[in-house]
Amino acid sequence: MVAPIIQQGQVWGLLIAHQCDRPRDWEEWEINLFQQLANQLAIAIRQSLLYQQLQAELCDRKQAETNLKTSLAEKEILLKEIHHRVKNNLCVVASLLELQSNTLTDPQLAKMFEESQNRLYSMALIHEKLYRSPNLAQIDLGEYLEDLVTNLFHSYNVSGNRVKLQVLTEPIALNIETATPCGLIANELVSNTVKHAFPNGKAGTVSVECYQTSDRKIHLFVKDNGVGFPEGLDFRQTSSMGFQVVCTLTEQLEGTIELDSTNGTVFHLIFAELNYSKRL
**How does pLDDT run across 112-121, given as a tens digit for each residue?**
888 888 888 8
**For residues 149 and 165, is the Cβ–Cβ distance under 8 A?**
yes
CA distance 167 to 79: 30
pLDDT reported for residue 279: 44
In a domain, 76, yes or no: no
Backbone angles phi, psi at 166, to 5 degrees: -120, 130
CA distance 150 to 218: 21
In a domain, 54, yes or no: yes
Q: What is the pTM of this model?
A: 0.69
pLDDT reported for residue 277: 55
Whether residue 53 sits in one domain with residue 180: no
pLDDT reported for residue 257: 96
Domain's final residue, options 31, 62, 93: 62
In a domain, 269, yes or no: yes
3-state secondary structure the chain: CEEEEEECCEEEEEEECCCCCCCCCCCHHHHHHHHHHHHHHHHHHHHHHHHHHHHHHHHHHHHHHHHHHHHHHHHHHHHHHHHHHHHHHHHHHHHHHHHHHCCCCCHHHHHHHHHHHHHHHHHHHHHHHHHHCCCCCEEEHHHHHHHHHHHHHHHCCCCCCCEEEEEEECCCEEEHHHHHHHHHHHHHHHHHHHHHCCHHHCCEEEEEEEEECCCCCEEEEEEECCCCCCCCCCCCCCCCHHHHHHHHHHHHCCCEEEEECCCCEEEEEEECCCCHHHCC
pLDDT reported for residue 146: 92
In a domain, 97, yes or no: no
In a domain, 109, yes or no: no
Whether residue 158 sits in one domain with residue 252: yes
pLDDT reported for residue 214: 94
pLDDT reported for residue 182: 94
Domain's final residue, options 11, 43, 62: 62
In a domain, 243, yes or no: yes
Whether residue 167 sits in one domain with residue 259: yes
In a domain, 126, yes or no: no
Structural domain for 17, as ranges:
2-62
pLDDT reported for residue 280: 43
**How does pLDDT run across 138-182, given as a tens digit for each residue?**
889 999 999 999 888 888 877 777 889 999 999 999 998 999 999
Whether residue 55 sits in one domain with residue 165: no
Q: What string of pLDDT tens digits covers the 280 residues of the chain?
A: 778 878 777 777 877 777 777 777 877 888 788 888 888 888 888 888 888 888 889 888 988 888 888 877 777 777 777 777 888 888 888 888 888 888 888 888 888 888 888 888 888 888 888 777 777 778 899 999 999 998 888 888 777 778 899 999 999 999 989 999 999 999 999 999 988 888 888 889 999 999 999 999 999 999 999 888 888 888 998 888 889 999 999 999 999 999 998 889 999 999 999 886 544 4
pLDDT reported for residue 276: 63
In a domain, 271, yes or no: yes
Number of domains in the chain: 2
Pairing status of strand 10-16 against strand 138-140: unpaired
pLDDT reported for residue 269: 97
Domain's final residue, options 40, 62, 84: 62
